[in-house]
Amino acid sequence: MTEGSRIPSAQLEGGHPKGGRLWRIMVVTVFLFLFAGFMGLGIWQVQRLAWKTALIERVDNRIHAAPVEAPAPDVTITRDDHEYLRVKASGRFRHDLETPVKAVSDLGPGWWIMTPLETDRGFTVLVNRGFVPADMKSPDTRPKAPEQVTVTGLLRLDEGHSGFMRDNDPAGNNWYAREVKAILAARGVSGDVVSYFIDAQPDANSAPDAFPRAGLTVVRFANSHLVYALTWFGLAAGSLFGMVLVLRERRRHGRSA
């Protein structure tokens, strides 16, 4: 090839005529796509942070508020409006229908004692009366509990099935999750029932070392959304920095060639 017919170096960038411009467009497109994706994820985590912060504040206010009457069966129970609401209910405990549910608490392994409460208002609500050690699963190992009571506690939603729990075995009376409907059905409780249960709190007459031990509800919400947001924003900035490095290295390589 003669000197007069030589292809201009601008057209040879990237190893092909006019390939350099197309290559730069592709690189910029890919990195900007990554930048937009990381920024979107970061903004989403900021929104989740605001939601979680509001949730924690709302739950904290509910826990320390004065108790209200437990919602009746005709009330639609939602997580946003009712979970951890402090409620009260009066009625008669059906100790003959209590159900032990496997538990691990600050006191070690044992059981939650779930007992139906036939309220004075005509419906039945399942009450978690508290925790007992493994050797106190049978009612015969505990002092006889009163039947007519007023319970104050936190409204909890049906735990349902979780991938981290074993499946309940109603036929074998082996319970690992506090499934309200399944427990009440297994005990033959029908009529007006509610879909939630009450985590009982200790009353003024409760002995501090008595069992079942009420008041062991753990209210804890993981809130790592700020860390996640900073991570995604960092990756967004890194994608722009990476784009600059790649383009600069490509230009340096082209000049040296």
Q: How far apart are CA 137 and CA 113, in angstroms?
A: 8
Residue 46 CA, chain-centre distance (Å), reads 17
Are residues 140 and 45 part of one domain? no
Domain containing residue 188 = 85-200
Token pair in block for residue 213: 């031990």
Question: How would you class 92 by CB atoms within 10 Å of its CB: exposed for 0-12, middle for 13-18, buried for 19 or more?
Answer: middle
Are residues 229 and 191 part of one domain? no
Are residues 184 and 112 part of one domain? yes
The answer to whether position 69 is within a domain reads no
Are residues 196 and 104 part of one domain? yes
Instruction: Mean pLDDT check: name the lowest of 127-136, 160-169, 218-227.
Output: 160-169
Q: How far apart are CA 106 and CA 35, in angstroms?
A: 45
The residue type of 200 is A
Are residues 115 and 158 part of one domain? yes
Nearest-10 Cα torsion for 42, 44, 46, 49: -130
Are residues 137 and 104 part of one domain? yes
Q: Which of 193, 108, 94, 195 is nearest to 147 (CA)?
A: 94
pTM exceeds 0.85, yes or no: no
The answer to whether position 55 is within a domain reads no
Residues in the chain: 257
Are residues 190 and 93 part of one domain? yes
**Model confidence at 71, in pLDDT bands (50, 70, 90)?**
very high
Are residues 175 and 231 part of one domain? no
Task: Specify the number of domains making up the chain.
Answer: 2
- Judge whether residue 12 has pLDDT over 50: no
The answer to whether position 119 is within a domain reads yes
- Judge whether residue 179 has pLDDT over 80: yes
